[in-house]
Amino acid sequence: MRNEGDLKGIIIFLIVFAAAVAAYVVFSVAQSKILKKAGLPGWMGFVPYLSTVKLFDICWEVKYGLITLIILTFSSFFSFLFFGIPTAIMNVYSVVLYVNMCLRLAKSFGKSGGFAAGLIILPFVFLMILGFDKSEYLGKKSLGKED
């Protein structure tokens, strides 16, 4: 017979798990819609690393997204080897990269800096707005020069 503490733990786990699945679905649907607008297959939005690389492709060239994703993955995976400054540098770099990607993503869909700030602060909400609104993908040429 289970005690009451075990049942509470199971319920809390199920609630957290359901919230994580719901967040993944919302984020993936938003990315899928954004990728469709950019002329890419929508199913790519549901594949975790591939969707990130394709979002980088919308903003930059694929090689930058792939290289950065590999660096960030290995730096976080092997962070137990790199205590201190290298890990801190990679964390700061990932934040700067995320902010820059949000700015470029908003601009590539003809959105303002305020919308980019919304992408930075509330990504689930603003990615859904970007995915379901009437904005069109303007391409990398809208960012000024090709990187």
Confidence tier at 2 by pLDDT (50, 70, 90): low
**Beta carbons of 142 and 110 less than 8 angstroms apart:** yes
Mean pLDDT computed over 74-96: 71
Give the count of alpha carbons within 13 A of 121, CB side only.
6
Closest CA to 119 of 141, 147, 146, 100: 100
Residue type, 7: L
Contacts of 75 (CB under 8 A, 6+ apart): 82, 86, 87, 90
pLDDT above 90 for 143: no
118, 123, 126, 132: CA torsion to nearest 10: 160
Q: Cβ–Cβ contacts within 10 Å for residue 60, how many?
A: 19
Mean pLDDT computed over 100-129: 91
Mean pLDDT computed over 110-121: 93
Give the count of alpha carbons within 13 A of 132, CB side only.
11
Its pTM stands at 0.77
pLDDT above 80 for 5: no
Mean pLDDT computed over 34-45: 92
pLDDT of 124: 84
**Beta carbons of 102 and 116 less than 8 angstroms apart:** yes
Task: Collapse the DSSP code of 102 into the 3-class scheme (helix H, G, I; strand E, B; otherwise coil) and give the result.
Answer: helix
Distance CA(39)–CA(25), nearest Å, equals 21
Q: How far is CA 15 from CA 12, 20, 25, 121, in A?
A: 5, 9, 15, 24
